[in-house]
Structure 1
Amino acid sequence: MNPSKVIREKVVKLTDLPNIGKASAEDLLLLGIDKPSQLIGQCPFEMYERLCEITNIRHDPCVIDVFMSITRFMSGEEAKPWWAFTDIRKQHLTKN
């Protein structure tokens, strides 16, 4: 869903989350996540690595940005577009 349209109190299913459409919701289901509350405490980098392992595909690193947007949203931060996390991801990956 477009982050500007997300209403925290109405987030019930995965596609109610910011930046999550049908394809991303399916990725989350592959990770065993079927409700938004399961994102609390998840590491977006670990989620990405698990997704790549499960699918046997190296996904675009922007998937990490999407995962960052939803894990942070579920931890109480405001809904932001996924690209707001690109610089944070790049900084994290260059340090590690």
Structure 2
Amino acid sequence: MNPDKVSRARLKALTDLPNIGKAGAADLRLLGIKTPADLKGQDPFDLYLRLCALTGSRQDPCVLDVLMSVTAFMEGDSPKPWWAYTQERKARFPDL
């Protein structure tokens, strides 16, 4: 069995995720994400747009970087700092 998958299955709190602190966990809960497992299969751009709508304000683009990092992590990517996704976000979503 892949030890990475086992360790992800043991994550219970949102703050157990890489790059997620109290504020990020609050944003995820606002989106209806209650556990790290809830991020599997989620689209980070959709989460970002929903968060902007729910808060009534455009979130900083680095929030999308964080969402990209945690969704990739829960899909099996190695943990990376959120800024490792900045270049990809700028390439995919140049208008942000």
Q: Is the 8 Å Cα contact of residues 44 and 67 (structure 2) preserved in structure 1?
A: yes
Q: Which runs of 5+ in 2 are unaligned?
A: 1-6
Distance across 2 between alignment mates of 1:8 and 1:38? 12
Q: What pairs up with 1:33-72 in 2 under 5 angstroms? A: 33-72=33-72
CA contact (8 A) 1:10 1:16 kept: no
Distance in 1 (CA, whole Å) between partners of 2:61 and 2:40 is 21
Deviation at 1:8, TM superposition (A): 4.0
The letter for the 1-side match of 2:50 is R
What letter is aligned with 2:27?
Answer: D
CA-CA distance at 1:10 after TM superposition:
4.3
Give the structure-1-normalised TM-score.
0.87
RMSD: 1.4
Identity of aligned residues (%): 56
* Paired letter, 1:58: R
Q: Count matched residues.
A: 89
Residue 91 of structure 1 corresponds to: 91
Give the letter for the 1:39 counterpart: L
Q: What is the SS of the residue equivalent to 1:64?
A: helix
Runs of 4+ in 1 over 6 A off after TM superposition: none
Equivalent AA in structure 1 for residue 14 of structure 2 = L
TM-fit CA distance, 1:94 = 2.9
